[in-house]
Amino acid sequence: MSEIQGRSAAMPAAPENFVLAIPVGLAVAVAGALAWAVVTVVTNFQIGIMALAVGYAVGRAIKAVGHGRSQKFGMLGAACAFFGCLLGNLFSAIGIFAQQEHLDIMNVVAHATPDLLFALMKGISRVMDIVFYGIAIYEGFRFSFDP
């Protein structure tokens, strides 16, 4: 038993892979944003903890594939978490708008203008979002690498 423990302690750390961490971080941010939107549209209630879940998931995914030991992984995690939060709110706004107007969501997306998207984001955003975004960004940073 001690021989097995000795071998695992002597194994070198996996090499860092920042290039792979980028698409994985973005993919998890988009997946988290979609989950956030589904929860928001189904419950018709914006739950701040969804931002925390996005930040945590992004950070853990980047750490798992990137094996990062430097802060650049944390910066990537923070950026992806912020992107996921913004996208989650945007997807939620589009979904709620489509539901309220009895429109097909893909039709709304296909005909969305920057002005409409901005108006939808403005309508769904609350001051408290800043707090949840901040925590999500911190989680994305903190959980993306081993200091």
Tens of pLDDT, residue by residue over 102-127, are 999 999 999 999 999 999 999 998 99
Task: Return the C-alpha torsion angle 79, 89, 130, 60, nearest 10.
Answer: -40
pTM of the model: 0.88
- 79-100 average pLDDT score: 96
Up-side HSE of residue 140: CA atoms within 13 Å toward CB?
31
The Cα–Cα gap between 61 and 21 comes to 8
What single letter denotes the amino acid at residue 98?
A
Contact 54, 36 (CB under 8 A): yes
The rounded radius of gyration (Å) of the Cα atoms in the chain is 19
